């Protein structure tokens, strides 16, 4: 009995080993490079290797972090990043759950699979390709909707365009995750509820929604951890990096990218470290709140 369990544990461990190695090599080892965020990092010939450059670069403390808040655009960038991500989290969560419930209620498997595939497909489309779709509709002079206004000089509709583009690309993927959670609910609960006379809507509210509650909380906490990370492709490619739209399209990642075109590796590292620290703090706060409200469903 002991040997059988040992073999099973070994087999599972070996299956997980490639993922563990990938995580260690690509996530943990590079963490040593965060020291560059506190240095005036420069190449040092005649041996300009990474280790030599790190060892010989001057320590300057938090100087590299100042550029994040150095311009008047910083406040606008922070507002856009937090505002868009808050809207994305709420809308994606609510609409994905509704979509997953609708897919689960489709009786014929052929149509259910067809709709799943149709909605999941946009997730694999690059934002570069998607930007050309948007441009075909909004381009000046020859776009389908270009007669009434110059869309690439008018900031008013772009929060809605960007939000719609985000939902178009991500709703399918998130709904599949929730659908998998719904399919894992014990069907005997629905049968018992039907015998007691519960309507289908009542079953959804009393069984389906509570059944996927742990998944909702986990995905919510993870999304909150990325609240200071913006989808660079969405905010850079879809508006075509148009200057007149920067007031509503400038987010942390595009702001840093523009800054990095003339700045140093140390500043780029500082920006990434800043995002990581803010994300960690947000996850801890969200998980603490969840643990106080519902300890069983907290992430840790």
Using DSSP's 3-state secondary structure scheme, residue 40 falls into strand
CA distance 206 to 212: 11
Q: Quick check: is 38 in a domain?
A: no
| Element containing residue 131 per DSSP (H, E) | helix 127-138
CA distance 113 to 128: 27
pLDDT, one tens digit per residue, over 51-89 is: 888 888 888 888 888 888 887 788 888 899 999 999 999
Ordered DSSP codes for 176-222: HHHHHHHHTS-HHHHHHHHHTT--HHHHIIIIIHHHTHHHHHHHHHH
Whether residue 53 contacts residue 43, with contact meaning beta carbons closer than 8 Å, is answered with yes
Number of independent structural domains in the chain? 1
CA 218 to chain centre: 13
pLDDT, one tens digit per residue, over 243-256 is: 889 999 999 888 88
Containing structural domain, residue 277: 72-297
Least confident of 20-24, 146-150, 159-163, 233-237: 146-150
**What pLDDT was estimated at residue 158?**
94
**What pLDDT was estimated at residue 13?**
82
Q: Quick check: is 275 in a domain?
A: yes
Q: Quick check: is 16 in a domain?
A: no
Q: Quick check: is 238 in a domain?
A: yes
More confident site: 88 or 200: 88
Q: Quick check: is 222 in a domain?
A: yes
| Element containing residue 79 per DSSP (H, E) | helix 73-105
Distances (CA, A) of 178 to 83, 168, 256: 25, 17, 34
Q: Quick check: is 253 in a domain?
A: yes
Q: Quick check: is 221 in a domain?
A: yes
pLDDT band of 149, cuts 50, 70, 90: confident
CATH number, domain with residue 81: 1.10.3720.10
């Amino acid at each position: 009995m002991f040997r059988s369990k040992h073999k099973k544990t070994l087999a599972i461990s070996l299956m997980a080993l490639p993922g563990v190695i990938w995580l260690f090599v690509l996530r943990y080892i590079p963490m040593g490079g965060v020291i560059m965020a506190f240095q005036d990092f420069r190449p040092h010939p005649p041996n300009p290797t990474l280790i030599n450059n790190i060892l010989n670069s001057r320590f300057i403390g938090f100087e590299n972090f100042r550029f994040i808040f150095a311009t008047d655009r910083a406040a606008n960038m922070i507002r856009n990043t937090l505002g868009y991500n808050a809207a994305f989290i709420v809308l994606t969560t609510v609409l994905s759950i509704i979509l997953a419930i609708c897919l689960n209620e489709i009786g014929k498997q052929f149509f259910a699979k067809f709709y799943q595939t149709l909605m999941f497909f946009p997730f694999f489309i690059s934002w570069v390709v998607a930007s050309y779709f948007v441009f075909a509709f909004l381009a000046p002079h020859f776009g389908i909707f270009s007669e009434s206004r110059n869309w690439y000089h008018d900031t008013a509709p772009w929060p809605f365009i960007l939000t719609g583009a985000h939902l178009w690309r991500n709703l399918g993927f998130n709904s599949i995750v929730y659908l998998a959670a719904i399919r894992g609910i014990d069907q005997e609960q629905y049968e018992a509820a039907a015998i007691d006379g519960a309507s289908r809507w009542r079953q959804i509210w009393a069984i389906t929604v509570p059944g996927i509650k742990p998944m909702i909380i986990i995905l919510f906490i993870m999304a909150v951890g990325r609240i200071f990370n913006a989808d660079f492709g969405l905010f850079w490619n879809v508006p075509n990096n148009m200057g007149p739209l920067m007031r509503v399209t400038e987010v942390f990642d595009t702001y840093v990218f523009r800054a990095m075109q003339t700045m140093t590796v140390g500043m780029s590292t500082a920006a990434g470290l800043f995002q990581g620290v803010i994300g960690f703090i947000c996850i801890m706060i969200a998980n603490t709140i969840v643990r106080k409200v519902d300890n069983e469903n907290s992430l840790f």
